[in-house]
Amino acid sequence: MSINFGQAMSDVPMVDIDNSGLSEEIHGQWRMALRRFRRDRLAMFGLITFLTILLIATIYTFVNPAGWSELTTSFNQPPSWNHLFGTTGSGLDLFSACLKGAQQDVIIAFVVASISMVLGTIAGGVAGYYKGSIDAVVMRFVDLLLVIPLLAILIVLSRIFAGSGNSWWMIAILIGLLSWTYIARLVRAEFLSLRERTFVEAATALGAGGRRIIFKHLVPNAIGTIIVNTTLTVSGAMLLESTLSFLGLGIVPPQVSLGMLVQEGQDSATTQPWLFAFPAGMLLVLILCVFFIGDGLQNALDPRKSRSRA
Amino acid sequence: MLRFIGKRLVMSLGVLWAASVLVFIMVANSGDPLFDLKMNPLTPKASILYREHLLHLDKSIPERYWIWFTGVLHGDFGKTLHGVPVGPQLFTHMAVTMKMVIPALLLAIVIAISLGVYSATKRGRWQDKGVTFTSFLFLATPVFVVGLFLKFFVAIPIDQHFQKVILSTAGDSSPTATGGFFQRIPDMLSHMTLPTMTLVLAVFSSWVIYQRSTVLDTMDQDYVMLARSKGISKRRVLVRHILRNALIPVTTVIALDFAGLLGGAVITETVYSWNGLGLWFLNGVNALDINVVLAYLMFTATTVIIFNLLADLAYAVLDPRIRYS
């Protein structure tokens, strides 16, 4: 990110000077955003905590790949040095299970966010740029998902696909196919105003087609909104997936997720509180971190629309 | 105005109809509700055929949809798999759910608006940071975690400490409770407190953040500065000039979140074993009871649509600048 532009400028031939001047301005914006983000203590805290948990989970499951499913001979043990988070009634080491579950949740959330980002940008972009009947079709679908609780649709869908074995990617695709509407609405709104700007007119005059204008001119201008809301989709996906797993309709044994661990731990929550506290706490911390990152990105990329700052 | 309402209603009915078709096709194709019955070797062939006939399973999916659709137009939501009419069941379960949804909605509105305004008036100070952080914390907490926490670490310790049930954790009322409405109030409170709190904590946080930012936006307007420079006290400016404008936009956000509130009720009912709409729906989904699933979805969608329409109208009444055409 921190390329030395002063030096690069002197090396480039004259012909390219316009282009590099432009890219310097763009990179300058990114650098300013990065600086704003770095100065945001809560966002940096969120990012570092999130990455640390993920790193520990990855290393742990790499070194000890079967740890989360292996049964030990100590049953219902409270947290100790041998079992940091204690063990379950069947002798499962909760520390390994929580790390594996956290990893699973984050992977699902990333898949969901990628699907939502792509679908939301394309659907919202096409609707906002072309308007008319395409817009009407996309927006009616968005309306549909606004009036029925998302959770209710997911409950119906996951029950339907339960027969074919609830694998984690099935859950991820289902949530992804339903949560792009939020991004689509915002991208559409941005495009509706961006498409009237003179640079779009200029591009049209130069003969650029719709696809080129959308992806080369409009998407870069709306990239802040897209990035911020993709981050928020990550946290939304984690909330939805854990809720589904809690209801027994998402991730089911022999796979593991934090929501499922909470569901299994709830029956003995008063006598063995660690069975509830650790998975629930980990879930909470992960989602909170993503929120902080999203909020920091919002302030860094789009300070005008900041939600939580003065 | 009337034309706007009419147009919106027609569009909403279209959305509802499309939703019913999609859900019908999905549920109808998702499995056989009589699977268990058929797996039992002792079931006579004739009774399977009879049940299939009763549930219209011997007809094609478009025919079944048509039967359902014409029924709904006559106010008949069909029968459950066990042959009980769905309509009355919907209303008994709705009465249970509303016992937590309505108090939670009102409480959440009051708490969210006052916290949001308070937080904005303390802009940048520790009170503001505290409110914002708490809001984020609850925004990040899944509903079932809040519910389970209140159940296991608030209700049960209190009940154990006093050696009697002060905060009940199961059901919407005690089956043993007798007497008139006023005699049952203590029992109702004991059952309603925690589920309502859970639902409030599940929805209020995003409204706080939104309310805070609207108040802050309004504070930066020129007319506020003008009012202050005329010598009007801070308090009077806040009440007369800022709040009048800043309380309007949140109505839309609250109305849009009503779907989320009903979704949260599904979880809360599961945690506190309330036999409300949410649990009814979950059982319906598990049993592949198509009429129950459709009745629930149509009911929630209609409620959300009505709420949104009311919010739009309230918006126009509160803010004379807004005109719908």
Tokens encoding B208: 């706080």
Closest CA to B112 of B240, B194, B199: B199
Tokens encoding A240: 């939805």
- Is the pLDDT score of B71 beyond 60? yes
In a domain, A130, yes or no: yes
Across the interface, whether the CB atoms of B259 and A149 are under 8 A apart is answered yes
Cα–Cα distance for residue pair A143/A164, rounded to 1 Å: 30
Amino acid at site A70:
E
**Counted domains in chain A:** 1
B106 contact partners, CB below 8 Å, separation of at least 6: none
Q: Estimate the share of chain B in helix, then strand, then coil, as percent rounded to the nearest 5.
A: 75, 0, 25
Taking residues B236-261, what's their average pLDDT? 85
Taking residues B223-229, what's their average pLDDT? 89
Please list every residue in chain A whose beta carbon sits closer than 8 Å to the beta carbon of residue B136: 288, 291-292, 295, 308
In a domain, A113, yes or no: yes
d(CA A7, nearest CA chain B) in Å: 42
Please tell me the least confidently modeled range out of A51-65, A85-99, A250-264, B104-118. A85-99
Cα–Cα distance for residue pair B175/B187, rounded to 1 Å: 10
Across the interface, whether the CB atoms of B266 and A151 are under 8 A apart is answered yes
Q: Taking the domains of chain B in order of start, what are their residue ranges?
A: 82-318
Closest Cβ opposite residue B267 in set A140, A243, A287? A243
In a domain, A79, yes or no: no
Across the interface, whether the CB atoms of A308 and B136 are under 8 A apart is answered yes
In a domain, A249, yes or no: yes
Top pLDDT among A13 and A102 is at A102
CATH code at position A164? 1.10.3720.10
Cα–Cα distance for residue pair A58/A68, rounded to 1 Å: 12
Q: What is the DSSP string of B198-225?
A: HHHHHHHHHHHHHHHHHHHHHHTSHHHH
In a domain, A287, yes or no: yes
Q: Calculate the average pLDDT of chain A.
A: 81
pTM, rounded to two decimals: 0.85
Closest Cβ opposite residue B142 in set A140, A152, A239? A239
Please list every residue in chain A whose beta carbon sits closer than 8 Å to the beta carbon of residue B12: 147
In a domain, A103, yes or no: yes
Cα–Cα distance for residue pair A224/A296, rounded to 1 Å: 12
What DSSP state is assigned to residue A189? H
Top pLDDT among A252 and B116 is at B116
Domain that holds residue A169: 24-59+95-309
In a domain, A13, yes or no: no
Cα–Cα distance for residue pair B291/B282, rounded to 1 Å: 13
| Segments in B56-162 forming alpha helices (H) | 61-73, 86-121, 126-139, 143-150, 156-162
CATH topology of domain B82-318: MetI-like fold (1.10.3720)
Tokens encoding A161: 């696909």
In a domain, A50, yes or no: yes
ipTM of the complex: 0.86
